A and B are shown apart, each in its own frame.
Chain A
Amino acid sequence: MSHDNPLIAVSELKKVFAVRDENGKRGEFVAVDSISFTIERGETFGLIGESGSGKTTTGRMVLGLEKPTSGSVTFGGNELVGLSDLDMRRYRHHMQMVFQDSGSAFNPRRSVGAQIAYPLKHFQAASAADARKKTLDLLDRVGMLPSHYDRYIHEFSGGQRQRLGIARALVTDADFVVLDEPTAALDVSVQAQILNLLKDLQRERKLTMLLITHNLALVEHMCEHAGVLDDGRLVEVGPVDRLLSNPGTAITRKLVDAVLEPELAGAAR
């Protein structure tokens, strides 16, 4: 692929977990097996696979939340693998994650506003007033109200929780966001709102995103490029327009066939 200046470059990334079998014998489980891909600035890359294929582990390694067994991850040309926790901290505010269930990623006992503003106050030495103002602006941008700042996470619906999760990911002006099944738990109407919001934010902020999902329709909608993981191996990478219309591997074809659309067989598409 002719990528000149990718924001994220993953090379020969590998994760091996030590496991014990039924008899207590030590063994190794290769969760991610020497995968390589790049993500251009401002683009969304889709990482597709069934459960257990290694897509979440890959996302966590790219963010430095999981230590790779070997391989390299660069962010804007800087190597992240092997950095100390302290050195990694310089990058953390550039790289964030939105989870499937943002509700469980918030502390139930603190107001959501305080949690979103936290990194501003503590790591960028913004004044309390500035942090609050920036958080309120961001809440407004993701479609929430100023009065929500002092509320607690249980007071919100699934879609609102996801909006709050996105606000928290973006409060430090992140350049790169990993989205791990961001709409899997949402109603159809809410999913449409969240996906549209993500596209708007991407354009406004030139966000680079990694979308982890097993739903190919999401990838078709969101991503220019994507890769397919099968048993930890990246079996196919390429432009989504080719990948999904002309799958090169059995697993991609299986995932394509598994997409159920609200049209009856034989109906014109």
Chain B
Amino acid sequence: MTVHNALDVRNLSVDFHTDAGVVHAVKNANISVREGGILGLVGESGSGKSVTSLAVLRLLGTSRARITSGEILFRGENLLTKSDKEMRAIRGPHIGLVSQNALSALDPSFTVGAQLIEVIRVHQGVDKATARTKALEALELVALPDPKRRMKAYPHELSGGQRQRVVIAIALSCRPELLLADEPTTALDATVQKQILDLLITINSELGTSILLVTHDFGVVAHVCTDVTVMRRGDVLESGTVEQVLNRPQHPYTQGLMRAVPRLHLNDATRSVPRADRRLFEFRGDTTKENADVA
């Protein structure tokens, strides 16, 4: 079979063994990232979206997490059968990760340059001078202003948006085929969020990097993604191209998610209602806790 997708998650199930019993965090999920595509994996807290992305990297680090079934196909190979050593050769060079909290992804006691150079040397086995040149290129790629000076900066000296650019630079320094971005802009200002998302679009189109973007925000999906998969409580509810899902959402939950968001651009019907009487669409979301821990 020829491989058309950058990533194929097939029938993946993940259980967490907690003191209160077994939680089925991901149930028989099928998720595909097209070669050169940007997939938005959308869901609320507890949907299993982050667990799925961590499973791809085999970073479900606790003994309580069990992948009970399924395959994760990357370049035609099942990542779930890889040894830890083989996975270390895949994380970084082939699959990069950008997490939500850039500050905790960076080490506070080393400069940005040192952290970039370390990653490049470990994964590419080049000498220090070459690594430095590549590090500078990586910072230029993510459009960090004044990269030469920023190489000497510590993470706390940078703004939130600049830090996220550095994290993206590190993730891209080895030119991975696939980038996992888990809520990469959630902690950022609206204006900075747009800049970072535009950077991801540029990377996707210029380097051809396929991207799995985990988010809770359909606005982000509409701006960036080519495809969408919607999850709730571990189940995949709906998948398709952005045109299909955004223009004709099939599942009531997807429709609810889109209708519940406050809008800037209102239609005439909404605008004719006095502001005090305008209400947001309420639906039973799933934040499992909201409903479960009430008892």
Q: Which of A105-113, A114-122, A128-136, A188-196 contacts B (4 or more CB under 8 A)?
A: A188-196
Of the residues B190, B278, B280, B284, contact of A255 by C-beta under 8 Å: B190
One of B21-29, B69-77, B140-148, B287-295 contacting the partner: B287-295
CB of B257 within 8 A of chain A? yes
- B161 to A, closest residue via Cβ: A51
Q: Is A145 in contact with B44, judged by CB distance below 8 angstroms?
A: no
Binds A, one of B30-38, B165-173, B211-219: B211-219
Nearest first, the 4 closest Cβ-Cβ pairs linking A and B are A189-B285, A260-B219, A262-B218, A157-B289
Q: Interface size of A by Cβ–Cβ distance < 8 Å?
A: 47
Quick check: A190 and B285 within 8 Å, CB to CB? yes
Is B107 interfacial (CB 8 A cutoff)?
Answer: no
Residues of A within 8 A of B285 (CB): 187-190
Interface of A, secondary structure class, is: helix
* Stretch of B7-15, B60-68, B80-88, B261-269 at the chain-chain interface: B261-269
- Residue B180, interface by CB 8 Å: no
In the assembled complex, A30 has its CB within 8 A of some CB on chain B = no
Chain A residues whose CB sits within 8 angstroms of the CB of B267 once the complex forms: 269
A242 proximal to B (CB < 8 A): no
Q: How far is B284's CA from A190's CA once the two chains are assembled, in angstroms?
A: 9
Is residue A7 within 8 Å, beta carbon to beta carbon, of the partner chain?
Answer: no
The answer to whether A221 has its CB under 8 Å from any CB of chain B is yes
In whole angstroms, how far apart are the Cα atoms of A260 and B40 in the complex? 14
Interchain CB contact under 8 A, A192 and B189: no
Q: Which residue of A lies closest to B195 (CB)?
A: A258
Q: Answer yes or no: A199 CB below 8 A from chain B CBs.
A: yes
B110 CB to closest chain A CB, in angstroms? 19
B2 close to chain A: CB less than 8 A:
no
A217 close to B (CB within 8 Å): yes
Number of interface residues of B (CB under 8 A): 49
Q: B120 contacts which chain A residues (CB < 8 A)?
A: none
> Which one of B197, B266, B282 has the highest number of Cβ atoms from chain A below 10 Å of its Cβ?
B282
- Using known A-B contacts A51-B189, A221-B280, A264-B243, determine if residue A259 contacts B264 with beta carbons closer than 8 Å: yes
Tell whether A267 is near chain B: CB-to-CB under 8 Å: yes
Contact for A217 among B256, B263, B281, B287, CB less than 8 A: B263
Cβ–Cβ contact A196 & B257, under 8 A = no
- 15 residue pairs bridging A and B, Cβ less than 8 Å apart: A50-B190, A157-B289, A188-B261, A190-B287, A193-B282, A196-B279, A217-B261, A220-B266, A221-B263, A221-B275, A258-B194, A261-B264, A262-B218, A264-B243, A264-B247
* Distance of A51 from chain B, by nearest CB (Å): 5
If A188-B216, A203-B276 touch, does A262 touch B260 (CB 8 Å cutoff)? no
Contact status B246-A263, CB under 8 Å: yes
- A189 and B284 contacting across the interface, CB-CB below 8 Å: yes
Please tell me if the beta carbons of A221 and B262 are within 8 angstroms of each other in the complex: yes
Asked whether, in the complex, the Cβ of A190 is within 8 Å of the Cβ of B261, the reply is no
Separation in Å of the A131 CB from the closest CB of chain B?
Answer: 24
Q: A155-B293, A189-B285, A263-B222 are in contact. Are A221 and B189 (CB under 8 A)?
A: no
